[in-house]
Structure 1
Amino acid sequence: MNIKIISIIALIVLVVLFIVQNIAVVEITFLFWSLQMSRALLIFFLLAIGIAIGWLLHAHFKGD
């Protein structure tokens, strides 16, 4: 098998294990808002926000 395919399969297995182990519902409170979501979904949203902020800051400072 190709090493790329093996790496992708291993990554998918790790992601599925992470999601299964973090299905507990947590409550998030910020100022006046309060919501409940799974811990895995919360971590995914925070990761996506961090990547977006990093990408925007990199684009901003690269332009100088």
Structure 2
Amino acid sequence: MRKTITGDFRTEDAMRNAMDDLLSVGIPREQLFMDTAQISLKVITPEATEREVNEILTRHQPIKLH
């Protein structure tokens, strides 16, 4: 089963850095969706990598994870 995790960030730089980190650990680009207007990053991930995705997003100090 797949989950969508969304991180809302204060700055676009933080959002882009989080995306770069996700890509560097092998999360496919097709599973990442940036919304520059809302400064949010959505990640579609299987449950097996949900914890890792949450840890990476948290490193970049999102305002909110949902």
* Shared fold per TM-score greater than 0.5: no
Query: Which entry has the higher C-alpha Rg, 1 or 2?
Result: 1
Higher relative contact order (CA 8 A, sep 6+): 2
Tell me the TM-score normalized by structure 2.
0.27
**More strand per residue:** 2
Structure with the larger helix share:
1
